[in-house]
Amino acid sequence: MTLIANTPNPPYYAVIFTSHRSNDDNEYGQMAERMLELARKQPGFLGVESAREQIGITVSYWSDLESIKKWKENAEHREAQKMGIEKYYTSFKTRIAKVERD
């Protein structure tokens, strides 16, 4: 498994998801793996990097804003977002940035 995403030459976009998990994280690992599997199949997906200690940071890379929008609207991803809000995270933040240099 590659730890650092092999992204193309810029420009492209990064979705930065920072989170703090709750203690109620049964089945979280399965859900996270499924979301990664689905994201990899999305048009415009370029790669992902993730780390977790006290907080988790996952950065996914996308070719354009439209691809990010379609991923956000994916039905299974929407359900995972709902579970995250209700069950898996005590706090989280999502940021989108344009990568201009690599």
The larger pLDDT score, comparing residue 3 to residue 39, is at 39
What does the pLDDT average to over 56-64? 96
Fold of 12-99: Alpha-Beta Plaits (3.30.70)
* Number of residues that make up the chain: 102
pLDDT of residue 68: 98
Query: What is the reported pTM?
Result: 0.91
User: Taking the domains of the chain in order of start, what are their residue ranges?
Assistant: 12-99
Q: What is the DSSP letter of 11?
A: P
Percent of the chain scoring above 70 in pLDDT: 97
Mean pLDDT of 53-78: 96
